[in-house]
Amino acid sequence: METARHLQNCVDRNETTSGPRINRIEEANLAMNTRRRSRKGAGREAKLAARTQAALPITAWIDRKIPYFEVLNEEGLALIEENAETVLAEIGIEFREFPAALRLFKEAGADVDGERVRFPRGLCRSIIQSSAPREYCQHARNPERSTMIGGDRTVLVPAYGSPFVLDLDKGRRYATLQDFQNFVKLTYMSPGLHHAGGTLCEPVDLPVNKRHLDMVYNHIKLSDKPFMGSVTAAERAQDSVEMAKIVFGDEFATNNTVMTSLINANSPLTFDATMLGAATVYAENMQATIISPFLLAGAMSPVTVAGTATQILAEALAGMAYIQLVRPGAPVVFGTFAAAISMQSGAPTFGTPEQNLIIFVAASLARRLNVPFRTGGGLGASKMADAQAGYEAANTLQTSALAGVNFMLHTAGWLEGGLAMSYEKFIMDADQANMIAVLLGGIDLSENGQALDALHEVGPGNHFLGAAHTQANFETAFYRSTIADNSSFEQWQKDGSLDTAARANTQWKKMLADYEAPVLDQAIDEALQAFIADKKAAQPDQDY
């Protein structure tokens, strides 16, 4: 009931955001605000409201208004579903060093043999379909930024997990906390990115066992978009939950979703204790998890599209069923990350047609299961933000958008197979993110959209620039790229003959210079800092 009401609040809010949206914070997510107000006092909502009015335009997600591209027909999809059930029944999935999962699956009717779990046909699907939500609201500390994940909605999220960063000034280097903070800020300021993401880059200057505290804190402090929690250990997931409780209130943060976190399968057909531990913490606390087979096809899955799609479905079914056994109703996302290896060198490749076909199939399979779907991103193997990076990223972004991604991780910044987060490419991808919103927004078939008046007014051989219809629409007509140079060759020369990366370099620096932090209630900030200080003092630094 409560959940349903939040969902409706969340939806209502976005549906009205096409008009002016000043002060809608007060109307939105009343339940959450009420809880927070009672705990922290009411002053901060007013401040928040005042602050947000001056911020960039916000769209908390994209409402899809175009069809999905279905690459396979019913028969083809049913064949892959049938094969995935065969894999689950005959080969099974290993859940390593995590007896709790084995126990739950045994109780649910699976055949447990050591750490290998074999599932009667249809068991995982029926567990998922009996309780996993089709879509869910992930609340943000700024209710205007609370987002809906699933259904006909698309949420774009920056890249995740790079140990390196790259920019034109300092080249490629290990990422630091300052880089992480920079990407939180850039994401906060990018209207096409609806979600702050998680490990935007690895702050490798901080100890492995403590850096999650700084990442979660900086997401909360420097941004007000929804974010992801830590998954590198169960206790770090628990820390993420504790910090969320400080921000959202104890009860709210364990009965509503305020984080969506990334659980990779250890493909093929294996889940390990680390990921299962983190996933369990999140599910117990009603936090969303993305169960993501992470495949380099040819090495970690078969060398065919259909075989890889089969494995993806089997792994996702098993992982999502586990989440529903831990806490029925906890949001869970069907994830897909599929690169293909070069059969010559073993190197991962991106933006290629087989991967795109896998994405199309996986999206269809997730829709048939009726759960949210994660894939995509501006993926690529290029070492720099050059033409290869552009082709690769666009190929995967377009495919994912048309396939029907709900949660597009790695939308912006990704380079070098995910090893490097690029400041310049982030700017380029954020522009593509804006374009995806226009594409998915579809075609206006209103009378104004049909523009018959304009055609009548202008007639053969004339131009439309001065037409009344053009004048009435030109401010909103046609997406305006934030990074493309469309000027003449001569003008471009006059402007310094800059390539896209050079223009992007100027842009991100200006954005960081212009950045203003959203207001965070001082009491919350202090409580978070105290929590982190306690945690850091309680154990020595570790590098694992």
- Which two tokens mark 3? 């959940």
For residue 222, which amino acid is it?
L
Q: How far apart are CA 366 and CA 297, in angstroms?
A: 19
- Helix or strand or coil: residue 467? coil
Q: How far apart are CA 218 and CA 201, in angstroms?
A: 12
**Buried b / exposed e across 318-338, counting CB within 10 Å, b at 16+?**
bbbbbbbbbbeebbbbbbbbb
Q: How far apart are CA 110 and CA 430, in angstroms?
A: 44
- Which two tokens mark 466? 């001065």
- Helix or strand or coil: residue 137? strand
Q: Which is nearer to its own copies, 219 or 469 (CB)?
A: 469
Q: Which is nearer to its own copies, 333 or 402 (CB)?
A: 402
Cβ contact 399:360 at 8 Å: yes
Q: How far apart are CA 278 and CA 261, in angstroms?
A: 9
Cα within 13 Å of Cα(44), Cβ side: 20
- Which two tokens mark 438? 């226009």
Nearest CA-CA partner of 135 in 120, 155, 117, 119 = 155
Q: Is 417 left (phi over 0), alpha (psi -120 to 50) or beta?
A: left
Segment holding 263, helix H or strand E? strand 260-264
